[in-house]
């Protein structure tokens, strides 16, 4: 038998079966103790769990949570390339800095402007796709019904009261700008006199 390469530890598919069995057994213990109530729906739910293909990952976990947030944020709240990485634009050629993952060093890359635009547009989502997609019980299709069921199983109120702070409080927290302060004298406070109605598109 040939030796295993690349620090192989365990078969991922076999591990998924073990993980599924252990988790379902733990769920059964919780139900038997009365800490989670399915009514008459536990057995069908259990059978459904066994029919699904479970996926586990045996890669080394990331030790610092903030690195995960930074990685995801690059795809959800930024464009394909930051302006600061583009160092030169001359004679229809674009030079930008990129990181060599093998050497962990920044290296300049120069391509034709048309090629740069092509690569940039590869990061544009096709029509109908969204940048952030939820899975599991938070999936958009049934997340309202799923959350209602979860609240019932956990014996929580059916609806959570969402308190929205005033816009002036949100702006001050997010931007540090007090929108109630007079933009001219910088000391007085703005007072609401009246609201201008929205234009309906039709003249009286």
Q: What does the pLDDT look like over 66-94, one tens digit per residue?
A: 888 777 777 776 778 888 899 999 889 99
Residue 171 confidence (pLDDT):
81
Sign of the Cα torsion 45, 47, 48, 50 reads: positive
Domain range for residue 117?
65-121
Question: What pTM was estimated for this model as a whole?
Answer: 0.39
Q: Considering the domain boundaries, does residue 191 fall inside one? A: no
Q: Considering the domain boundaries, does residue 79 fall inside one? A: yes
Contact 108, 95 (CB under 8 A): yes
- Distance between CA atoms of residues 31 and 24, nearest Å: 10
- Distance between CA atoms of residues 176 and 105, nearest Å: 36
pLDDT, tens digit, 9 for 90 and up, residues 144-161: 888 888 888 888 877 766
Q: Considering the domain boundaries, does residue 30 fall inside one? A: yes
Number of domains in the chain: 2
Q: Considering the domain boundaries, does residue 197 fall inside one? A: no
CA distances from 202 to 30, 111, 197 (A): 62, 52, 13
Q: Considering the domain boundaries, does residue 27 fall inside one? A: yes
- Distance between CA atoms of residues 133 and 135, nearest Å: 7
Q: Considering the domain boundaries, does residue 71 fall inside one? A: yes
Q: What mean pLDDT, rounded, does the chain reach? A: 82
Where residue 55 falls among pLDDT bands split at 50, 70, 90? confident
Six token digits for residue 66? 């903030």
Q: Considering the domain boundaries, does residue 148 fall inside one? A: no
Task: Compute the average pLDDT of residues 161-176.
Answer: 77
Q: Considering the domain boundaries, does residue 88 fall inside one? A: yes
The answer on 35 and 11 residing in a single domain is yes
Task: Compute the average pLDDT of residues 113-139.
Answer: 83
The answer on 35 and 6 residing in a single domain is yes
Domain boundary among 43, 60, 77: 60
* DSSP code per residue over the chain: -PPPPTT--S-HHHHHHHHHHHHHHHHHHHHHTTSS--TT-HHHHHHHHHHSPP----SPPPS-HHHHHHHHHHHHSS-SS-GGGEEEEETTEEEEEEEETTTTEEEEEEEEHHHHHHHHHTTSPPTT--SS---GGG-TTTHHHHHHHHHHHTT--SSPPPPPPPHHHHHHHHHS--TTB-TTTSSSB-----PPPPP-S---
pLDDT, tens digit, 9 for 90 and up, residues 19-36: 999 999 999 998 888 888
The answer on 70 and 93 residing in a single domain is yes
């Amino acid at each position: 038998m040939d030796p295993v390469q690349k620090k192989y530890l365990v078969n991922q598919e076999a591990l998924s079966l073990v993980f599924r069995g252990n988790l379902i057994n733990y769920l059964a213990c919780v139900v038997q103790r009365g800490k989670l109530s399915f009514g008459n729906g536990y057995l069908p739910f259990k059978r459904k769990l066994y029919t699904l293909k479970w996926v586990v990952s045996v890669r080394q976990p990331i030790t610092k949570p903030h690195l995960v947030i930074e990685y995801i944020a690059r795809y959800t709240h930024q464009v394909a390339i930051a302006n600061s990485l583009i160092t030169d634009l001359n004679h229809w050629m674009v030079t930008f800095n990129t990181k060599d993952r093998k050497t962990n060093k920044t290296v300049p890359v120069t391509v034709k402007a048309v090629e740069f635009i092509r690569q940039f547009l590869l990061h544009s989502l096709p029509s109908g796709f969204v940048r952030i997609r939820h899975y599991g019980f938070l999936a958009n299709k049934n997340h309202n019904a799923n959350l209602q069921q979860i609240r019932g199983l956990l014996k929580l109120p059916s609806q959570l009261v969402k308190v929205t702070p005033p816009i002036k409080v949100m702006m001050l927290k997010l931007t540090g700008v007090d929108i109630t302060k007079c933009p001219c004298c910088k000391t007085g406070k703005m007072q609401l006199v009246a609201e201008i109605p929205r234009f309906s598109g039709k003249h009286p």
